[in-house]
Structure 1
């Protein structure tokens, strides 16, 4: 009875440790999905490890099971942690924002640094940034890459739709021509239909002119 009580205390502790991750940029503790799933895996592994071990080895079996289960449970969340760290390191000072929502990463590339006005030709000054993305995307090849072009509401809907689609396709073509697998990439234009700021001001319109790349686990 005492052994199983000790096992419960052990697995609870493992869960708490696995669920608490530190943001590498702020140093603050945060509960990420990789930690949560790792904690669940640790508990499961500990129980299985204890149950399949002899009485005298149950404590050892629980520890081994917790370690194995925790690593497996972290899974894609841990993979995203590493991918996010690489992207943030390489994109410092480029003007590209990195946002994370669970196991999904979104890169926001402002239109003024990516393309000339009313053009879908990538600015030559932006090639080094795209080359950095190519390097990371090729290293972390388990993520699907969804590219969406966005515009402000100035001009006709048809013009904006076509421009946003052409810009998304330009980025997709650059990635694939530099070795990123084409079957990972999708691209389309959303035109002015998904604003993130008011189109009533120049500042807001500038924010709306952008290309977003969303990275998520391939199905």
Structure 2
């Protein structure tokens, strides 16, 4: 479990690069789009932050992961990004550990429904 982002920032920690490469290699043969969704903890960005909201920060995080992974795909246009801000936590924001878990991205491969 690698801590991907420092609080209030969208720069990916360098130790994530080999993990991103492994994920891209695993996803390359999967058909269809790949959606990268950014998330944040509930700490509001500082006034000095380039991000006006946690939503903006979550989009920047998704874009950072997309930029790291896109060169590893034969069709980088398959990648789309979205952000959820602090709206979908997976852990309790009342603790430092929980906030760290909420600073994340999710990678999703939407599947077409068949009737």
TM-score under structure 1 length normalisation: 0.44
Question: Is the alpha carbon distance of 1:159 and 1:214 closer, same or farther for their aligned partners in structure 2, counting shifts above 3 Å?
Answer: same
Choose from 125, 148, 153 the match for 2:37: 148
Choose from 120, 123, 134 the match for 2:13: 123
2:22 is the alignment partner of 1:132: yes
Question: Is the alpha carbon distance of 1:206 and 1:122 closer, same or farther for their aligned partners in structure 2, counting shifts above 3 Å?
Answer: closer
Render the CA deviation track for 1:4-50: whole Å, top value 9, x for unaligned: xxxxxxxxxxxxxxxxxxxxxxxxxxxxxxxxxxxxxxxxxxxxxxx
| Inter-partner Cα distance in structure 1 for 2:33 and 2:86 | 24
**Structure 1 segments (4+ residues) deviating >4 Å:** none
Question: Is the alpha carbon distance of 1:209 and 1:150 closer, same or farther for their aligned partners in structure 2, counting shifts above 3 Å?
Answer: same
Choose from 168, 175, 193 the match for 2:87: 193
Decide which structure has the larger Cα Rg and report it: 1
1:145 and 1:185 in contact (8 A); partners too: yes
Higher helix share: 1
2:17 and 2:68 in contact (8 A); partners too: no
1:134 and 1:180 in contact (8 A); partners too: no
Higher strand share: 1
Unaligned runs of 5+ in 2: 46-50
